[in-house]
Amino acid sequence: MAISSAEAASGTRLTIRLPDDFHHHCRDGAKTAAVLHHAVQRFGYCLMMPNLQPPVTTTEMALNYKSHIMASMPEGSFPYFKPVMTLYLTDKTTPDEIKKASSSGVVGCKFYPAGATTNSALGVTDIKNCYPALQEMSDQNMMLCIHSEVTHADIFDREPVFIEEIMTPLVTDFPNLRISMEHISTKEAVDFVLSSPDNVKASITCHHLLYNRNHMLVGGIRPHLYCLPILKAEIHRLALVKAATSGSKKFFLGTDSAPHSTDMKEAFCGCAGIFTAHAAVELYAEVFDKVGALDKLEAFCSSNGADHYGLERNTATITLEKKSWRVPRTFDFGDGKGVTPLRAGEEIKWSIAAQE
């Protein structure tokens, strides 16, 4: 779906295929409706993360969660929004559960190394424990979605160590397993994905494209920029920008929008997660515009991910315009406390003009 010549020449307005988000935290209870208010305006497919409390470990739980999401949709017509469900992989996930999930429309399983991130205590302790389930996933053509960090290394080195210790043998042992390395954050991950077979691809967040660790730490700690994987040095941010805007089919949009109430972020031990659902597509547009790659935005946002997941591309469109708007300092989070969004109180250079 091409940008018109007039729009491309002006660089102020473009219409692209409706984007997808292949990494989204929709939360549970009353919070789900608050999160969906933002997501439905920007995305077609939305891959729902299963690290709830309790985690979504069975097909029945995944289908119940999907029903909850659909029942929480905001008023108004958003016919293009489609929640895509995953299971939370554990040491005890069985091949039979994988078969059941696949036949029920669950597209994949999320591999959280135990203790690596929010609500991951019940995650995988040893990838070898999951090999029977992974073989069944490969046979069923399901996706393995990976939080690619170990827990025993320095926090800034956890992704490269994971690639060396787990990813490399995993790709060798399961040559036909479709893999999504989620929210990659290092040059090493970019290089690994580019050198891997076509079944291995990666999502990239807008916050890892926009910010490095200095933004989070210099001049005082900014808790609303604390996420896992943690923001890295500038050399890694630049490698991610180069990969995302290159036109390579190996990389696609995955926001990892992970809202927590403001008091949980601004606490003595603040939790990890950045809320970007309110402006994700607009922020990606900023990144691509800055490096003169708006013509590559649609593939990254709207085609590469759907192709990797084996889903039909959206037929609806979204129109963006280079028109600044100021982000509110807080949004409703369905819990009476509110959530602080990325760029709270600041301007974003692109905005959404229409979805149709």
Question: Which residues are known to be catalytic?
Answer: 256
Q: Kindly write down the DSSP assignment for every residue of 214-260, as one continuous string.
A: HHHHTTS--GGG--SSPP--HHHHHHHHHHHTS--TTEEE---B---
Distances in Å between the Cα of 343 and the Cα atoms of 72, 273, 282 are: 26, 14, 12
> How far does the chain reach from its first CA to its final CA, in angstroms?
14
Contact 251, 243 (CB under 8 A): yes
Contact 195, 159 (CB under 8 A): no
Within 10 angstroms of residue 67's Cβ, the number of other Cβ atoms is 11
42-62 as b/e: b if 16+ CB within 10 A: bbbbbbbbbbbeebbbbbebb
Residue type, 235: I
Alpha-helix residue ranges (DSSP H) falling in the chain:
5-10, 30-39, 59-71, 95-103, 131-140, 158-162, 168-173, 187-195, 206-210, 213-217, 234-244, 262-265, 280-290, 297-298, 304-309
For residue 143, give the nearest of 188, 174, 119, 184 by alpha carbon. 174
- Of 114, 120, 146, 118, nearest to 47 by C-alpha is 146
Phi first, then psi, for residue 21 (nearest 5°) are -120, 110
CB proximity list for 255: less than 8 A, separation 6 or greater = 21, 23, 24, 205, 206, 276, 277, 280
CA angle 111, 116, 121 (to 5 degrees): 80
3-class SS of residue 318: strand
90's tokens: 């554990």
